[in-house]
Structure 1
Amino acid sequence: MLRRLLGVVALICAGIAVPAAAHADNPIVQTVYTADPAPLVHNGRVYLYTGHDEDNSTYFTMKEWRVYSSADMVNWTDHGSPMSLTTFSWASANAWAGQVVARNGKFYWYVPVTNRATGRMAIGVGVATSPTGPFTDAIGRPLAENGEIDPTVFIDDDGQAYLYWGNPNLWYVRLNPDMISYTGAVTRIPLTTSGFGTRTGNTARPTLYEEGPWVHKRNGLYYNVFAAKCCSEFIGYSTAPGPTGPWTYRGTVMPTQGSSFTNHAGVIDFKGSSYFFYHNGALPGGGGYTRSVAVERFSYNADGTIPTITMTTGGAPQNGTLDPYVRQEAETIAWSTGVETERASDGGMNVGYVDNGDYIKVKGVAFGSGATSFTARVASATAGGRIELRLGSPTGTLAGTCTAPATGGWQTWTTVSCPVSGATGSRDLYLRFTGGSGYLFNVDWWRFA
């Protein structure tokens, strides 16, 4: 459904002569609906962990989590779903907002799910040796359970890790170094109006804190960025001199906006810049239960406060370039129309469900003095089609055309090459797919020479 809606929008734009190059890069994933972003910086890349809203949802219907990564904040590689409800044998539903942290050479994914035995929300922990998984259940049972949601984990400079979560309350525990157990009692953080702002019209919840805490530290100051005052939510924040408080409410980070009555924040520093992740309902068919993750670059004020950040369609500027002379996964995308991704038989993911006129945009491709050839790994159970290499827009300068032949199956792969001319400097590359009716072919990876 989502791919069809995006295709319709593209046709409408073409019909009213809106140049395709005007397509922006927020939301950053267009192939599925994503929600509840949790970014992690690791080894020169940002790994973005999200929930997955099912198409046509009328509730928070979420069965799996997904992961994407980027080295430049605009071209995002889809790594698929390395963890789902079935990872936890004791969970029955609700793969909701979580977060991944790295420690001990492993990656720990803290998530809220419904405990089948109790019917309550509980916090589970997945573990993997790679940031892209696969993740397995670390302990075979809930780490903590009190019916509340939205875990976030912060590791302080002294090595002490803290797990926070909660709606309607805000809780924390001190995690042990193994990251899968804790010492001491589950402690409730006092939700005071001085600490978390004043809510009006709801005596049961006098503060603005709603859910979705994100705790981080900068220059010795602790920040708790949270979803505030449902519904519709905005993003507020508080600061403290220590990881458990006392907290002081500092104001609004992102006002209520964006066609989703919830929001959920993640904050990181990467390659010298600060980034704020959130979700909205900006994709076609989007809304409160079909959300999409987006990102903005921001700068802290001189006094350490966070400025007000507004949702944009432009998103964060590119932080680096993309090297076309090494293998690039076809599912590395700045913007796409029509296509979907799926598991590939050779491992990883591939781009599929390609129709005539669909395209993928890859931003800031550093061609340098010029490319002379293009190679791609393709498969087709039908007659195949063509990959047009366009520069600047889907209808921009044609730098080359590669034919993707029939191979006898959607996972029966062959490698094709074609000559290229005019691809120099740093350009936005559009892989435009053309051919007959129906699905044309799949693409696993590509590379220029």
Structure 2
Amino acid sequence: MRNYVLSVVLGLLSLGALLDRKGIATADNPIIQTIYTADPAPFVHNGRMYLFVDHDNNNASVFDMTNWHLFSTIDMANWQDHGEVMSLATFSWSISNAWAGQVIERNNKFYYYAPMQSKDGGMAIGVGVSNNILGPYTDALGKPLVDSGGFDPSRWSRTTASTPRGGINTVNLTTAGFGVREGNEARPTTFEEAPWIYQRKSSPGSPYYLVYAANCCAEDIRYSMGPTITGPWTYQGVIMPAQGRSFTNHPAMIDYRGHSYFFYHNGGLPGGDGFQRSVCVEEFRYNANGTIPAISMTSAGVDQIAPLDPYVRQEAETNAWSWGLSTEVSAEGGMYVTNITNGDYIKVKGVDFGRRHRPLFFSARVASAGNGGSLELRLGGATGTLVGKCPVSNTGSSQTWTTVTCAVHGATGTQDLYFVFTGGSGNLFNFDYWQFRKTGNA
């Protein structure tokens, strides 16, 4: 019998350049394209879905990971890039392996539990803390919380009658709880790594789910159910078979605005594999008896659950898909889109222009150190209907921002909006945010 140790503290269990023009994808999975992302940890706060991920470096042949990033959405289609929120540099005692973490909120603070390699040797669990979910996170302890060689901490923050009150709790890895691994007497259960603890409803009698990566390698996703946060667990079976050009997988499940979502990673971007992974999401419905159905990876992703309003300021780094470009931190705060070259584009999904109002003008905040270029507004695709075109000239530097405005004709209804960038060679300009403006009566 093997024991899996869950740390319990305070009532919790603990490609811009990547897209190398080999082919243009029109689907919405993977949900992030500017960098490789892995090990999703979704978190709902104030009506918004936040997604914490770790970051696979380009061209790595091992798990070469040095920081953690954050994205968010309100419609499950367009994701805003909030950039790096924590890194190995946050923890003076760490040296490498910024791996899968999870976040909880407690007493108006956010705690980021994450594994990393300690300078003293071996894997350890650190804790980042911030007053803002967007970070930045700082080292809460100045030392590891747990230094016994573990990784992939899972957290629990809802206090119930069955919630442990601290200390170490062990979960026995029995075959009844976690299934039978064939052909390996030393490791008799299917459990491999990446646990995600979840309770869909907090009402008495509502079951707990322990979803995990199973077998190796390649990993599939399986789960167990139990009446309390510490079990006893009963094995339920496979959720997602091994798929997707990555020999690892890492699950998470969450409910948001009346929908149930399953997050995972694969090697779905160009150049993707087991060390260059990308986070994806699928929607599912629980079976009538509370069990989880089989879920397959798709490139289509999930349905948009609310339209995007073009008549308020929208960040350029909020989108459903992008091609060729990347993002950077702005000196003015937030992020902006950069490394824009001729033919790059951004897709913003489900933009509601309205049926009686038609936009008359479009404005964009831009900066250019070179010859600039043009920002084309197209509907339905990167070669779709052209409804506007904004010229962008040299502004003096890549951080000298100005607002350009152009007329728009023919945009109405709910459309997928594409920003298509055209111009000469090299970086054309940087792009910070945008907004449509309409006039007339409703």
Read off the aligned partner of 2:267 and give its amino acid letter.
G
1:228 has 2:231 as partner: no
Read off the aligned partner of 2:263 and give its amino acid letter.
F
Read off the aligned partner of 1:200 and give its amino acid letter.
E
Given that 2:17 and 2:34 are in contact with CA atoms closer than 8 Å, whether structure 1 keeps it comes out as no
Task: Work out the number of aligned pairs and report it.
Answer: 417
Read off the aligned partner of 1:442 and give its amino acid letter.
N
Deviation at 1:159, TM superposition (A): 8.0
Rounded Cα–Cα distance in structure 1 between residues aligned with 2:117 and 2:207: 34
Rounded Cα–Cα distance in structure 2 between residues aligned with 1:349 and 1:233: 35
Q: How does 1:1-400 map to 2 (within 5 A)?
A: 2-10=15-23, 23-117=26-120, 119-158=121-160, 174=164, 183-184=166-167, 186-219=168-201, 220-368=206-354, 369-400=357-388
Read off the aligned partner of 2:91 and give its amino acid letter.
F
Helix, strand or coil for the counterpart of 1:410?
Answer: coil
Helix, strand or coil for the counterpart of 1:206?
Answer: coil
1:420 has 2:408 as partner: yes
Helix, strand or coil for the counterpart of 1:411?
Answer: coil
Given that 1:327 and 1:445 are in contact with CA atoms closer than 8 Å, whether structure 2 keeps it comes out as yes
Rounded Cα–Cα distance in structure 1 between residues aligned with 2:189 and 2:210: 14
Deviation at 1:103, TM superposition (A): 1.8
Deviation at 1:104, TM superposition (A): 1.1
Identical-pair percentage? 58
Deviation at 1:3, TM superposition (A): 3.1
Deviation at 1:114, TM superposition (A): 1.2
Read off the aligned partner of 1:138 and give its amino acid letter.
A
Helix, strand or coil for the counterpart of 2:401?
Answer: strand
Where do 4+ consecutive residues of structure 1 move more than 4 Å?
Answer: none
Given that 2:246 and 2:267 are in contact with CA atoms closer than 8 Å, whether structure 1 keeps it comes out as yes
Helix, strand or coil for the counterpart of 2:418?
Answer: strand
Given that 2:153 and 2:195 are in contact with CA atoms closer than 8 Å, whether structure 1 keeps it comes out as yes
Structure 2 gaps of 5+ residues are: 1-14, 438-442
Rounded Cα–Cα distance in structure 2 between residues aligned with 1:283 and 1:264: 17
Rounded Cα–Cα distance in structure 1 between residues aligned with 2:359 and 2:93: 53
Rounded Cα–Cα distance in structure 1 between residues aligned with 2:358 and 2:280: 33
Read off the aligned partner of 2:74 and give its amino acid letter.
A
Given that 1:7 and 1:358 are in contact with CA atoms closer than 8 Å, whether structure 2 keeps it comes out as no
Q: Which residue is equivalent to 1:19?
A: none
Rounded Cα–Cα distance in structure 1 between residues aligned with 2:104 and 2:387: 42
Q: TM-score when scaled to structure 1?
A: 0.91
Q: TM-score when scaled to structure 2?
A: 0.92
Helix, strand or coil for the counterpart of 1:256?
Answer: coil
Deviation at 1:205, TM superposition (A): 0.9
Deviation at 1:421, TM superposition (A): 1.1
The 10-residue stretch of structure 1 (333-342 or 214-223) with the greater mean CA deviation from structure 2: 214-223
Deviation at 1:9, TM superposition (A): 2.6
Rounded Cα–Cα distance in structure 1 between residues aligned with 2:116 and 2:262: 25
Structure 1 gaps of 5+ residues are: 14-21, 162-173, 176-182
The 10-residue stretch of structure 1 (57-66 or 362-371) with the greater mean CA deviation from structure 2: 362-371
Given that 2:266 and 2:277 are in contact with CA atoms closer than 8 Å, whether structure 1 keeps it comes out as yes
Read off the aligned partner of 2:80 and give its amino acid letter.
T
Rounded Cα–Cα distance in structure 2 between residues aligned with 1:227 and 1:307: 16
Give the superposed CA RMSD. 1.3
Rounded Cα–Cα distance in structure 2 between residues aligned with 1:160 and 1:425: 50
